[in-house]
Structure 1
Amino acid sequence: MNLYKIPNHIAIIMDGNGRWAKRRGLPRYIGHREGAKAVERVIDYALEFGIKYLTLFAFSTENWERPKEEVEAIMSLLIEYINKKVPYLIERDIRLRFVGRREDLPDMILNTVEEGERLTKNGKKMQLVIALNYSGRAEIVDAVNKAIKEGKEITEEDFPKFLYLPDLPDPDLLIRTSGEQRISNFLLWQIAYSEFYFTEVLWPDFDKEEFLKALYEYQNRERRFGKVSTQ
């Protein structure tokens, strides 16, 4: 089957790192490290198929409640990953961005995030957006408070201007791995008309075949945005 309809923006809930490790009798941090390798693969797939925006749900505001050792391992891996991959992103003309409540991030993480954004700010081929300390509900609350502070009347058309990344287009396709079929507080405003693709595959095992399955499924969907079908 040939691909003739490519989504402009793909968002992914990367789920299943812990279960991947547990099934193999390994510590959870090993699952997160293998999950980071899957991120590298998916960036390459997205570039290959001309995806312009790729948003990955890395860490939610609720994830701080996980065991301290796991949180520290994730944050350490994140710093390592950003520092390691920035040259790769620059070489491939990719802009790195982050979305979430930055003010609550530890200084070391925040400095790494901001430096990664600064070094890749001229990337034009694709935008890689990492949702870090992110909550869809929190983003909506923050947007409302920002509008109120500016004395703005909120309309559906103007509301996106107050989101964390107002220039980011809404996702065309949302992918979630590991068999779970829920949104988990991710991009609640932005995915109002996104197509969803759920797979049983755990995130560390997500490969090109599964990525293609999601793209094939997407191109077979009819996106009506609430309107009546013309077919």
Structure 2
Amino acid sequence: MGCPGASGPGPRVWVLRLLLGLAAWRGGAGGRSPVCGCCPGPARNGSSVASYCRAHPALELRGRCCVGPEPGAIVGLDLGNCSLTLLCAGFPDASAAVVISLPLALECPGGSMAWDRITTHSDSRTCQGQRNPCNSSGELAWLCPENSLCSPDGPGLVQCLCAGSYHGYKCLREGTFPMLLFYGILGAVTTTLSLLAWGTQRRKAKAS
């Protein structure tokens, strides 16, 4: 039972909860990522993922994932014997994996051109060796705008990062990014929303 007239957590508490939740989500990569537990049980002993992981002493099997020593580094993912028709939540955490085992119902992320080798088994499909779209030609070739650099962003995906002092839409602006203006506007918007939420809570408390 709460105290009579209590109006629930204030805006500061909600902001703190949001920040803590975001931190917990960002810290969920690696063996704690949702994708490592989206299917019950550990990785299969005879799977390509387990074999790859055991062949490299620096790697470790955690749930369905083979993880590296760097925080959040998912090197392999074994979902081969799972009855999935869609990639489960948290799959972007494994976007840099070098070996992935999937049910036959699922194609390799990014398509066949995004992997060096795709092997089909009786109940699973194994995707091995991600190709770098930034260094490819033909179907996977990707051209970034001038003044930007291509960076891999998952199977068959890239992101274009502005080079040097360029920034803005298609990296057309040159010079220092206006940090003071950006954070000033962000701070003003955050303060305004917090005040509106606080005022709303106050009115609800007085009305109850």
TM-score range, shorter chain: under 0.3
Q: Which protein is richer in strand relative to its size?
A: 2
The higher relative CO (CA closer than 8 Å, separation ≥ 6) is in 1
User: Larger Cα Rg: Structure 1 or Structure 2?
Assistant: 2
Question: When the two structures are superposed, what TM-score results if normalisation uses the length of structure 1?
Answer: 0.24
